[in-house]
Amino acid sequence: MTPTLLSAFWTYTLITAMTPGPNNILALSSATTHGFRQSTRVLAGMSLGFLIVMLLCVGISFSLAVIDPAAVHLLSWAGAAYIVWLAWKIATSPTKEDGLQAKPISFWASFALQFVNVKIILYGVTALSTFVLPQTQALSWVVGVSVLLAMIGTFGNVCWALAGHLFQRLFRQYGRPLNIVLALLLVYCAVRIFY
């Protein structure tokens, strides 16, 4: 890989990992509401699911030319529906002012999110199809880059969770407005799947 292509790869992966998306918003919301320590299950579920999805993206990238467009369209609708459901859960979640503290989303729920998270699927397929497969089709390299992509994504999730934890007091003070803004960002993510 040339230095120019490598630079483009790192720019793409880091920007994609750090921009708002379902995982990052969920990580921020969970850490703001429950603290970083109680959010580790959420982060662990996201990380494991992310890794598995990136490994599945290897197969998708290799066979992208033969994938039925209807299947991709169905995945987009499923992903958008899950993201809107997640937005609703965040918008209606209890805040400190409500006097209630709901449990963080479970390991399995955050794990399952990855399989309908169109942002990370497109992230994986795009990175592999654009930057890796034109350079090498060696399975060991492609799988290695998939693992790297999952690590970069996990880094972005942890950064957002740490931001939620560090600004927890401020976010808790404005819990309801923050939850609504985060929910609207998720709805925006769902709409952006189609436009």
pLDDT tens-digit series, residues 8-64: 888 888 888 988 888 999 999 899 888 999 999 999 999 999 999 999 998 887 776
Report which residue type is found at 144: G
Q: Are 120 and 193 in contact (CB under 8 A)?
A: no
Overall domain count for the chain: 1
Give the structural domain span for 37: 3-192
pLDDT tens-digit series, residues 69-88: 566 566 567 667 776 887 78
Which tokens is 135 given? 């350079």
Q: CA triplet 32, 10, 145: central angle to 5 degrees?
A: 95
pLDDT tens-digit series, residues 158-185: 999 999 999 888 877 887 888 888 788 8
pTM recorded for the entire structure = 0.75
